[in-house]
Every structure is written in C-alpha cells, then in structure tokens.
Amino acid sequence: MTVHVGARPTLTGHDAGLEGFIGDYVNAYMAATRAAATIAIMSTTSPYKSQGGLGRLRNALKFSLQGFKAAFQHEAAFRQELLLAVVLTPAAFWVGRGAMQILLLISTIVFVLIVEILNSALEALADSITIEHHALVGRAKDLGSAAVMLSLLLGGAIWATVLYLRFH
C-alpha cells in the first residue's frame, strides 16, 4: 500500500529563492522526508504481531484478557451487564426448553457483552483523538450507544418470547 503524503505541491529550496548549496540541501531534506514517510506507511508488518503458531495464540489470549480486564475496570455499563449475565445465564437453563432455546438465550447475553466491549473500544479510541467536543466524535459515540441499545432490545425481545412460550 502506498500513500502519498501531502496532496498539495511542496515548496522546494529553489522555489523559496535559495540558490546553490542551501537550496540543494533543502531539496534533499524534503525528498528524504517524503521518502521516509512513504517507507513508513508502506510497511505492512506490525512489530507487535507475532509470526504465528502458538506465539500468536498466546498473544491473542493475553490481549483478550487485557481487554476484559480494561472493560471491567473502566466501564460501569460492562460491569452492570456482566452482573446481569451472571444472573441470567443460570436462568437460561431453567427458562429454555431444549438446547436450542438455552443456546439462544445465552447467545443474547454474550451478544450484549460483545457490543458493549466494541462500544467501549470505540469510545476509548474517540477519546484518545480528542476530549474536546467534536461533532463526528459525538456521532460515533452516539452510534455505538445505539448499537448497545439495539442489542439490549433484541435480547429483551428474545427473552420475553421464550418466557412467554415457557409459561403460556
């Protein structure tokens, strides 16, 4: 992947009225800077990725556990939904009739947790860009919140349907 840095024309040393050695020096510096930026962007291998095999799996597990820990430590909504999951998971075995209903009920719980983690990641990334009010950052956060709400509504509808079928 090649990305061209700077879409507008770049001022060279000669354009700036610098002649001789200084103009050549500025031109060389500008060319080297553009080349270094292009090389850095062209790199597709992250130094943080392992080569594969068991090392990759070990790193994936380690980073996933760090993600769970961060969600639990920093996100009150995740803690509340996790508490709800602890209560509802055993209830799914009592409410559900058969393996498919039990799996469906537990899947809704896990789905809500997944969406909450993704929303938290989006918010953390947005906050790392700017903590000042920005319309697009606000929109991104609102969209993440809407996704969480939809997952909760879907989960509630599925639970209500299974409860209705169980006790009707």
Residue range of the domain that includes 40: 1-44
Confirm whether 19 is a catalytic residue.
no
Contact 42, 2 (CB under 8 A): yes
77 is in an annotated binding site: yes
pLDDT value at residue 9 = 47
Kindly state whether residue 67 falls inside one of the protein's structural domains: no
What is the distance between the alpha carbons of residues 126 and 75, in angstroms, rounded to a whole number? 15
pLDDT value at residue 53 = 83
Question: Which uninterrupted H or E stretch holds 133?
Answer: none
What is the distance between the alpha carbons of residues 134 and 68, in angstroms, rounded to a whole number? 28
pLDDT in tens, 68-97: 999 999 999 999 999 999 999 999 999 999
Q: Which of 71, 92, 116, 137 is catalytic?
A: 116
Can you read off the two tokens belonging to residue 95?
């409410």
- Count the domains in the chain: 2
pLDDT value at residue 50 = 61
Contacts made by residues 150-153, CB under 8 angstroms, sequence distance 24+: 150/115, 151/111, 151/112, 151/114, 151/115, 151/116, 152/112
Kindly state whether residue 50 falls inside one of the protein's structural domains: no
Do 95 and 137 fall into the same domain? yes
123 is in an annotated binding site: yes
Higher pLDDT, 55 or 121: 121
Higher pLDDT, 35 or 148: 148
139 is in an annotated binding site: no
Kindly report the CATH number assigned to the domain that includes residue 86.
1.10.287.3610
